[in-house]
Chains A and B, each alone.
Chain A
Amino acid sequence: MHKINKFRSKFSAAFVTMLLVTLMASAQLKTYKALVVDENMQPIAGASVIANNSSLPVMSTVKGVLVFDAAPSAAIQIVKSGYVTQSLAANANDLFVVLRTDLKQSKIAMGYNSVSKSKNTASVSSIEGDKLHNSVSALGSALYGKIPGLFMQQGSGEPGEDQPLYYFIRGTITYGSASNQPLVMVDGFERDINTVQVEDVQSVSVLKDAAATAIYGARGANGVLLVTTKRGFEGPIKASVSVQTGFEMPSVMPTFLSSYDFATKYREAYINDGLPIASLHPRYDTKNIENYKTGDPYYYPNIDWASEMLKSNSSRRQADLQVSGGNSIGRYFVSMNYLGSEGLYKHTKSPSGWNSNTSVDRFRFRSNMDVNIKPNWTLRADISGQIDTKIRPIMATTDYWNLLYKTPSNQFPMIASGSVYGGGSGNTVNPLAEVQYRGYRRLNERAVMSNVETKYDFSELVKGLKVGLRFGYDNNYSNREGWQRSYQVQDVFTALSADSIPIAGSVVGNAGSFSYFGPDSDQQNDRLTIEAFSEYNRTFNSKHSVDAMIMYHQDKYILDGDPKAYAYQFVGGRLSYDYKQKYLTEFSCSYSGTENFTTENRFGFFPAISAGWVLSEENFLKDNASLDFLKVRASAGMVGNSAVGDRFTYVQQYVGGTGWNFGASSAGASGLVEGTFPNVDFSFEKAYKYEVGIDAHMFKYLTAWVNLYYERREGILTSSESVIPGTFGGSIANVNAGVTNRKGIEFALEFNKQLRDWGFRAGVNGAFNINKIVSINEEPKPYAYLSVQGLPISQPFMLEAVGFFQNDADIAASPFQSYGEVKPGDIKYKDQNGDDIINDLDRKPMMNGFRPKAEFGFDLAVRYRGLELVAFFQSQLGRSVNLSSNPAIFHSLQSGSSRISTFAANSWTPATATTADYPRLTTISNTNNYKESTFWYRNGDFLRLRNLEIGYSLPQTLLSRTKVKTVKLFVRGLNLFTLDNLKMVDPEVLSGYPVMKSYHVGLNVEL
């Protein structure tokens, strides 16, 4: 390239004197080559050049390469619709051009329309799909901490079940049976977010305030999560293929005492209980206990079930294919995906061919089509679907993990003999037999989602008018089937003979033959949506812009086994007006209702207004070099929440009740009983929302915004039974009398600077909110601190542990603890009300709830040429976890656990009285120590490295002669590192299949 330029210079120099002056300018043309990219370093195709105010007939390629000729001193501008025009000083040969998204033109997906970011007056946060790249199986799992105000918590790590536990926009605000979950819309239709492939996502928007959600009426109060999938664009065919493989392992595993240490501790527990060891438990007799040291694996085994039954890591694979393109008539986006993932269980392969290891195989497809039937008549037709097949052991997942933690390590070998497993009359369940012998179950899940939209432009009739119809039809189906059989167990050591030889017990149970079960647990649901709408959009005198929309919506959701379909209906609309894009106002509303409420309370009117002022358009700021954009906005309105949990509780029903047996043959006779006493005013919740916010862009590389909000929620269903005496004698419907409020702040700050060889992106976002119960029906409490009124929703109450009783004198001198006999080494509680007795009246609000008060995300990306490093951290603050939620690990020798975890290793004994950090061990049910108390609560704050990725894109020079656009290799790690206060368990998932950390390698090729 350099050579050519040289040659050209020489060439022109040779002829310079022979040419006319008028030709001189063109003769001095220089060839430029520019690379045009967006802020995320994605190449921009179709960018054009203006040199000295005249357009050049060139466009950038799909690789972002723009080659043009211009005079060396020309004023050059790179132009692309949707981006801010970039002026260049044309003194370099090779140009690197970063086009920033133009707020005035870039649209943000809202409820039933999209609005340019600069004109938006509502509270919306969104993220583009290409920032979500993540090796996750559920779209939800790619969103942790990414969108300020969207609070999420990781669920189980089991393959196929690893979607988030909940999505709460701005945390919780309603209590009781009502849902805090937002409405989730995929491409405008209510759908499960986890049916969307991450790679197919164009953007995810979170609608938060009343202005953004009023159109959803009675369903908008908890906010709305909008997912928009990618569509095809006019242009040459584009294809992208990705393959990746990875392996995953538990982020943390609990540890347990070895058999010898366990036996010693167990003996200690017996001594604490004052029970005779020699006669009752010869196993732990002094002379016998030593056998655990020598470790005869048959009679004195030392089995760490978790490490025996679990692999050190499990594998997953994923492949994605996307093809898109189109012309002025039709455009398409088609994708197919496969995900395969196995669980951690070992010994799951049966000789007869089946494998009970938990696994998922998932196929997904999507086809999004746009057709211009006529120039002013468009049709959109999308269909997508998924087929999931999941294999599981017969035992429920959480039960199996608990079993691994609870099964004693010392009492029986894995196999007693042949196909008889270790166990006994008290332990008829053997972790090995459960996966190796018992069988498996298969869960089949299918989903098809389809929608059609047709829209006609009536501009020739009324300028700016469009009318259309939309239909959506979705169906989901799942069932379960499997093979199972029973197995035998034997206790090889029930007693000790006179000469200290273990005596085996009899074989318990019987080895049945396989029986097929299912297909059962059938679940099928359908949703049919019909919408009609008309839009009006026009600008008068290039100053007054009007954007109006009115629509009708209805949908019916039919759930298997529920004779009453869920029906939603509304008429809604919006009217926005702005003057010179400087002063913005919008009014939106809907008249909306659902089938669930009394006729009088079924429909509600939900209005919202919002306004914005773009200060940067004002003269006094317009030419400010450092401030690119500044807008203040405010909104107010009322939205409803119809997901109140209860259904039809205004009807006094008679329902099936327990019957009785009568007659000479004691035949069963059915029973009928009055149902819940009705709430005749049964209705939805009302949310009054107020918000102010600022959006700013500075120095061309800094984006910042902040929101402040207040919400008051009224009409929350609150218990009647907690205030009506039990002498009434029945269940009473909840009444819409609860009130809560919340206030909070959200912000995001993003720094983005791209240079040719280097690129930096750093972002921080955060959300903090506090909610408060203003009114709730609760039992009158004898002490003010027992009331939840004025406290955050889900505030835990507990006893305050103040140490362990040191001796009998200590017990005698302390307030009486009413949870059973206490001995030295038991937990001592603080007497909160000074009545000298410890009971439930001493439970005080302490610590935090399980859900966080604040959430932060930290995003960091560094690029050097083709090499890129991306790290994303999520942090939740202001939360507590209750270790008692996993008694299998933490309640050693209690709650059915026959093991002692290292958490209890330093349990109280007279000798360790001053250093112990766990109460005395006991083999007898002990209520006192296991009451909810500060002893079991821990600060649940954490900082987690959600995503770490190193990517390398092959240099364009290598690819320039091929049809390949990009080739990217990447190594990715998820949940690699967590900073928290817990050691034995994950701060998010305390029991069941744990949170996994994973490593992936992958290759992405774009054509």
Chain B
Amino acid sequence: MIKFNRYKLLLLTSLTMMLLTACDFTESDMLAFKKEDDIYRNMSNLTATINHVYSYLPDGYDRIGGSMLAAACDEAEEVNDMESIQDFNAGSWNAFSNPEGNIWTRSYTGIRKANVFLDLLTKVDWTYLKVGTPDEYVRREKLTKMHRYEAHFLRAFFYFELIKRYGGVPLIKRSYDPFTEADSLKVMPRASFADCVDYIVMQCDTAAKYLEADYNTAANNAHIGRATKGAALALKARTLLYAASDLYNQTGNTRPELGYTDGLRKERWVRAAKAAKAVLDLSPAVYGSHNDYSALFNLGDVVSKEVIFEKRYGLMNSFEVQNYPVGFATGRTGTCPSQNLVDAYEMKFASSTDPRNGKYWDEENSGYNPQKPYDNRDPRLKKTIVCNNEKFGKNNTIVEAWEGGAQGLPRKSASKTGYYLRKHVNETLDLTLSTGTAKKLWIYFRFVEMNLNYAEAMFEAFGSPTAVSATDGLPLSALSALNSVRTRPAVGLAALSTAISAENFEVKLRNERRVEFAFEDHRYWDVRRWMIASETIGGEIYGMRIQSTSVANTFEYTRQLIETRVWLDKMYFYPIPQSEINKSTAVKQNPGWE
């Protein structure tokens, strides 16, 4: 018995040792990992890979912390002093910290994901994808092709996000191996601004050539929200408009990455006008203007002809929670429109022939009534901004922005400007439990922008509001384009006269962009490219002090300075993150930020 046991044990021990050592005990099941070949052999994985590339597009709502970019220029003031966007206004941003986050890395990450996706497409093995019915095979082929040009478009979009902030940047046109090609990345200098613009344009042209004009058909509507031909052309138009603008055409500039150094500016404006025209030409078949200015910014998931490219949000309410005026359910007050913006809305009286129409409030005989400052104004004012004693919310509650009122100072979180945001805000949500949600759209490009881009490019190219150029294929004047925006049913302002001076026309054109695109992330960039930031991003921000009087519904309005903001001319270009300057031997910092 003993003998049996001890040999059995010895045998067992040796056997166990041998058996266990032999088996691949430390081998893990690698099948649980999705690898490259699982992507290019599987259609839905390919689609998911391009879907992810979209996620590097900028956010519209809750852009910086909980604030909108509007609060970093003269459109608005963020009510919360602790929000990071205040760093812009205090001038406390630099190469080490930027309230916008690291856009450099975010954009290049998007660019790499697009490049990697294009690499994957070169590896697509149709023996794996060619399954199912012939129809299915055709569908897959078409889809793959579509995704390819989506990648080109998105790559261009990310480059545009880079150049509008930093000027020319290193052009990464393919995916790199960070270990074997580290040195090439380290010595890659910034490309010239011109080269970057040309690259973006080239990508847009390629994408526009092959992408569908729209997906608004029963067979295709699952793709709504993907890049279209129009989206690519719109991106090209905006890029060329920016490229022709003052900021990138400064006289005496010797650094090609900061802008053009040649004098061929007129050609650039013509090119920009042509690019905008190409989108306008898609109207009316594909595009047109939406007939309701308020509804356009609360489309939910509704398709509109005015929308060229958008970010489609699922059910959400964070933007509403952030921007409902304090006192409305769980509203916290966020981005508060400034008096500066309110003042930009023209006077508009019922009679279209009223001579006061089109005047600014402070012009002589404008008809402005200091006791009722929001009456007889451009209708977009009240569709964009919640003014004192106006209604808000699903119960049409009066907003009491006066001192001591439910939405007035000194209440904590009450607007300092006396205004609350209406544009984009879905007033129908039930936020008492924070449970009410709705879908939202953030529009990157819309049809009306192309009119104004065209108007600006034409005017700058030919120096006259009424000029046309048949030889360039530009039969529409700047004035007509601007008027088509002003007089469209959703706005209904009077057309500007053909007699308008060039000087006045520029004022009107720029003001139109300011008013039309308020809170759409335009002005922050427009004032930079026009190089008028010192008094629009910097400078004084005003609010309205509103005091109730002894007479019901009568208030005393007094403009008051609420903030003086910091602007330094170096801020026209963002500082490249210091760590990128450190890691590269070739990338040079923008002037003033070294």
Contact = CB atoms under 8 A, between A and B. Distances in A.
Interface of A: 279-282, 374, 377, 424-426, 454, 456, 458, 461, 467-469, 494-495, 497, 505-506, 508, 510, 530, 532-534, 552, 554, 556, 563-565, 567-569, 571, 593-595, 602-603, 648, 651-655, 657-674, 677, 720, 722-730, 732, 735, 779-782, 818-821, 839-840, 896, 923-925, 927-928
A670 B172 contact: no
B81 A924 contact: yes
A925 B91 contact: no
B185 A671 contact: no
B437 interface: no
Interface in B541-594: 566, 577-580, 582-584, 587
Nearest to A663: B222
9 contacts: A279-B403, A458-B10, A495-B411, A662-B225, A662-B226, A671-B55, A725-B580, A779-B579, A924-B86
Given A666-B225, A723-B583, A724-B178, A563 B32 contact: yes
B586 to A, nearest CB: 9
Interface in B420-453: 432-433, 439, 441
A821 B91 contact: yes
Given A532-B16, A564-B28, A821 B222 contact: no
B9 interface: yes
Interface stretch (B107-115, B377-385, B508-516): B107-115
B178 A467 contact: no
Given A552-B20, A567-B25, A727-B170, A657 B52 contact: yes
A595 B90 contact: no
A728 B314 contact: no
B48 A670 contact: yes
Interface string B182-198: 10011010000000000
B112 A728 contact: yes
B397 interface: no
A601 B586 CA distance: 36
Nearest to B412: A426
A468 B52 CA distance: 56
Contacts of B28: 564-565, 567, 595, 648
A508 B411 CA distance: 15
B48 A671 contact: yes
Contacts of A779: 579, 582-583
Contacts of B410: 279-282, 495
B409 A279 contact: yes
Given A374-B2, A532-B16, A671-B49, A652 B584 contact: no
A666 B312 contact: yes
Interface stretch (B34-42, B281-289, B468-476): B34-42
B413 interface: yes
B332 to A, nearest CB: 8
B178 A925 contact: no
Contacts of A569: 20-21, 25-26
A274 to B, nearest CB: 11
B153 interface: no
B224 A819 contact: no
B313 A661 contact: yes
Contact of A660 (B55, B177, B221): B55
Nearest to B162: A727
A655 B433 CA distance: 35
Contacts of A658: 52, 55
A708 B86 CA distance: 55
B182 A660 contact: no
The 4 closest A-B pairs by CB, nearest first: A729-B112, A671-B52, A820-B92, A658-B55
A666 B301 contact: yes
Contacts of A468: 9, 13
Given A664-B221, A674-B36, A726-B105, 19 more contacts: A469-B9, A494-B411, A494-B412, A563-B29, A569-B25, A653-B33, A654-B49, A660-B55, A660-B225, A662-B224, A662-B226, A663-B224, A666-B225, A669-B47, A672-B48, A673-B52, A732-B179, A839-B96, A840-B578
Contacts of A657: 52, 55
A897 to B, nearest CB: 11
A53 to B, nearest CB: 40
B113 A673 contact: yes
A564 B34 CA distance: 14
Interface string B306-341: 000001111000000000001100101000000000
Given A595-B28, A661-B313, A655 B34 contact: yes
A726 B16 contact: no
Contacts of B104: 726
A669 B13 contact: no
B499 interface: no
A374 B6 CA distance: 11
B34 A672 contact: yes
B34 A925 contact: no
Interface string B232-261: 000000000000000000000000000000
A726 B583 contact: yes
Contacts of B33: 648, 651, 653
Contact of B178 (A602, A728, A819): A728
Contacts of A469: 9, 12-13, 16
B48 A661 contact: no
Contacts of A495: 404, 410-411
Contacts of A532: 13-14, 16-17, 20
A876 to B, nearest CB: 33
A728 B104 CA distance: 11
Contacts of B185: 724-725, 727-728
Most chain B CB atoms below 10 A, which of A505, A568, A594, A674: A674
B303 interface: yes
A818 B35 contact: no
Contact of A674 (B92, B113, B432): B113
B223 A663 contact: yes
Given A424-B412, A571-B21, A669 B51 contact: yes
A660 B16 contact: no
B467 interface: no
A780 B412 contact: no
B312 A673 contact: no
B5 interface: yes
A729 B110 CA distance: 7
B554 to A, nearest CB: 17
B168 to A, nearest CB: 13
B412 A729 contact: no
A673 B81 contact: no
Contacts of B105: 726, 729
A721 to B, nearest CB: 8
Given A425-B413, A726-B108, A927 B92 contact: yes
